[in-house]
Each structure stands twice: as C-alpha cells, then as structure tokens.
Amino acid sequence: MSLLELRRIRKVIGQEEILKGIDLKVERGEFIAIVGVSGSGKSSLLYIAGLLDRPTEGEVFFEERAIDFKQERLLSEIRNRKMGFVFQFHYLLPEFTLLENVILPAIKAGMKKRDAEERAYELLRRLGLSGKERRRLYQVSGGEMQRTAIARALINNPTLLLADEPTGNLDSKNTERVMEIFSEINSEGRSILMVTHELELTKYAHRVVEMRDGLIVGERRA
C-alpha cells in the first residue's frame, strides 16, 4: 500500500510548464532521492508532494486518500501531523531557543507543553544537541541548526519526511552526520522523499529518480 502517490501532475506558472505529467509513488518505509540539474522541477514536485503547493492538473493521494487542495484546514492538519519538512535553509526562529523552535509544531498540534518538551529533549539528545537546548541560533553552528530543524520535523512523529537540499549549506562532516540521521529515521519505518543535487548522497536512498525539464527521465534502485 503506497503512502503517497502523484498521478499525472502538471504545474504551469505563467507561460512556463514546470512539471509535465509526473507519476510517482512513495511506499511506506521507502527512501527516495530525486536528482536533476537546477530548473528540472525537483523542488516544485516536492512542494506538491508535501501539500505546500497545488498542481495545475493531476491528483495527489496520501494514505490512499485523494487530496482536495481546496480544504485548507485538512491540508494543514495532514502537513502538521503526518509530514515533516527539512529545507536547505532551516527556517528556525532566532528569537526562540532550540528547544522552543522544536516544540512549536507539537504545541500547534495540541500536545501538552510538558509532553512536547520531553519529546524535544529526547530528539535533541539523539541528534547530539544535549546541553544546548536553551541556546539561541547565534550560539550554535550551521550543522547544529540543521539538526535542530530535523528534530522539529520529527516532533509530531510523521510518517513522511520531505527534504529539499537538506545538506546544501553544510560541510562534508555535517552532511554525513545529517544523512546518517536520515538513514536511522528511515530504518524506523518512516518514508523519506529527498531532493538533492549531490549525487553521492543517493547511496543512502532505496530508489533514485532523475528529473529533467519537468519530466522523470530515469529511475534506478540505489
């Protein structure tokens, strides 16, 4: 049973056709890497898969349920409870501590603050950030910020993690650390859909999908 399915997805912006009829399935527990040159449509596809943008044409199914992009409240609920997002730029809030950044989605989902903090402490510990929970962004490194963003993405125990160039701003050591974390997350049964231009990172995925000019032009098992 597929977790996520995209059928005949087209995306048109102005006069430009960004996606030209994409079909893609993400199975439960699968780790897929989407690769391709800049402008191939990778990120546009990821944003539609994550229900952050709507297709011009086509259908999206999540947990075998057709998604109605007009139902904003339902979309928000699925994104918050079922999906986690990690981007190239961490989008953490500088006025908050690492701990406060991590618990925000949990509080929004209705989790009690004490329970959210307990889970956040555990996630930050697991990600090598014990003792830094009360620090602000200017007190930690770029790699630590990205690991905090991963903790935030996991706070609501999502079934699908979506990552858009998650190591794009990291050095090789932190890149390897983040990818090892992704492998651990995946081994626990979570599905991962990751966009990257770094081909060496595809070794962590089960399947590699190559895009060019808004089309899927190749697919292989990693």
Q: What is the mean pLDDT of residues 45-66?
A: 94
Residue range 122-148, pLDDT digits in tens: 999 888 889 999 999 999 988 899 889
Tokens of 140: 């930690």
Q: Quick one: which of 87, 88, 85, 107 has its CA closest to 96?
A: 107
Amino acid at 154: L
Domain boundaries, the chain: 2-94+142-221
Strands 57-62 and 65-66: antiparallel
Whole-structure pTM value: 0.89
Counting residues of the chain whose pLDDT is more than 90, the rounded percentage is 64
Distance from C-alpha of 98 to C-alpha of 148, rounded to nearest angstrom: 6
Residue range 57-98, pLDDT digits in tens: 999 999 999 999 999 999 998 998 899 998 877 789 999 999
Distance from C-alpha of 103 to C-alpha of 108, rounded to nearest angstrom: 9
> For residue 132, what pLDDT is reported?
92
Compare 109 and 29 and report the one with higher pLDDT: 29
> For residue 142, what pLDDT is reported?
86
pLDDT band at 116 (very low <50, low <70, confident <90, very high): very high
Helix (H, G, I), strand (E, B) or coil at 27: strand
Distance from C-alpha of 153 to C-alpha of 145, rounded to nearest angstrom: 12
Radius of gyration of the chain (CA): 17
Handedness of CA 15, 16, 18, 23 (dihedral sign): positive
> For residue 98, what pLDDT is reported?
95
CATH of domain 2-94+142-221: 3.40.50.300
> For residue 194, what pLDDT is reported?
94
42 has a pLDDT exceeding 80: yes
Phi/psi at 195 (5° precision): -95, 130
DSSP for 83-107, written as a single string: EEEEESS----TTS-HHHHHHHHHH
Distance from C-alpha of 38 to C-alpha of 16, rounded to nearest angstrom: 15
Distance from C-alpha of 160 to C-alpha of 119, rounded to nearest angstrom: 18
Share the mean pLDDT of the chain: 91
> For residue 102, what pLDDT is reported?
95
Counting residues of the chain whose pLDDT is more than 70, the rounded percentage is 100
